[in-house]
Amino acid sequence: MAKIGPGVVVTGLTLGALAVVSLLAIQANGAETRTAAAGPRPGATGSPSASPSPSASPSAALAALPAASGTGRRVVYSVSARQVWLVDPKKTPQVQAAFAVEPGSVSPETGSFTVYSRAAATTGTDGRQVEHVVRFAEQSGTVFGFSAAVDGATPSPDPKVRTGGIRESRENGQTLWDFAPTGTRVIVIA
């Protein structure tokens, strides 16, 4: 049986450590990107050209995935936190993405739903062109779903117009679209 010298062992351990450090750096960079994307968004004031500015408020930070948010692969939407988590327990990290959203003028009831319809592009209830529409519930005549405005705007909804569209940035809209095909569970929490 051939003997392995100490130089080979040290080299192997060094390469393994570099691989782990590289993986952690990539994950940290992804988390930084998701956190930055969740901050103030262009168009948050109704103007798609408004530039984002850093927020000093701790409430602007993304919350951790709530413990009572279901199990399995799912989209979790917190009405009160105005936040979405994309969760896949078979992957590391389990939370694949987390980002802030702008809810419609009407909120869905809490509970478990299933993505039943998707549209690559359409016109939203507010008249804006939207893309990556992922619908998961219909209650009292209002359709609830996630979408991104093509112009990038995420203005607060007009309270006089009954809309269940939950808006996210275009980047986050693409991420949710890729994560949530028809049949994906959506858990709505308070």
Burial class (CB in 10 A: 0-12, 13-18, 19+), 41: buried
Question: For the segment 123-167, what is each residue's pLDDT rounded down to a tens digit?
Answer: 998 889 999 999 999 999 999 999 999 999 888 888 999 999 999
Other CB atoms within a 10 A radius of the CB of residue 114 amount to 12
pLDDT band with cut points at 50, 70 and 90 for residue 50? very low
Query: Domain 39-43+69-189 is in which class?
Result: mainly beta
- Return the bridge partners of 102, or none: 167
Q: Are 147 and 132 in contact (CB under 8 A)?
A: yes
Give Cβ neighbours of residue 80 (< 8 Å, ≥ 6 apart). 190
* Helix, strand and coil in the chain, % to nearest 5: 25, 30, 45
Q: Among 20-24, 44-48, 183-187, which stretch is predicted with the lowest mean pLDDT?
A: 44-48
Question: For the segment 91-133, what is each residue's pLDDT rounded down to a tens digit?
Answer: 999 999 999 999 999 999 999 999 999 999 999 988 899 999 9
Segment 58-75 shows an average pLDDT of 85
User: Is a pLDDT exceeding 70 seen at residue 18?
Assistant: no
Q: What is the pTM of this model?
A: 0.69
User: Is a pLDDT exceeding 60 seen at residue 14?
Assistant: no
Rg (CA), the chain: 20
Q: What ranges do the domains of the chain cover?
A: 39-43+69-189
Is the bond preceding 93 in cis, omega lying within 30 degrees of 0? yes
User: Is a pLDDT exceeding 60 seen at residue 22?
Assistant: no
Pair of tokens at residue 19: 């691989």
User: Is a pLDDT exceeding 70 seen at residue 90?
Assistant: yes
Percent of the chain having pLDDT more than 70? Answer: 68
pLDDT of residue 6: 61
User: Is a pLDDT exceeding 90 seen at residue 177?
Assistant: yes
Burial class (CB in 10 A: 0-12, 13-18, 19+), 69: middle
Distance CA 18, CA 25 (A): 10
pLDDT of residue 77: 98
Query: Mean pLDDT score of the chain, rounded to an integer?
Result: 79
What count of residues does the chain have? 190
pLDDT of residue 17: 42
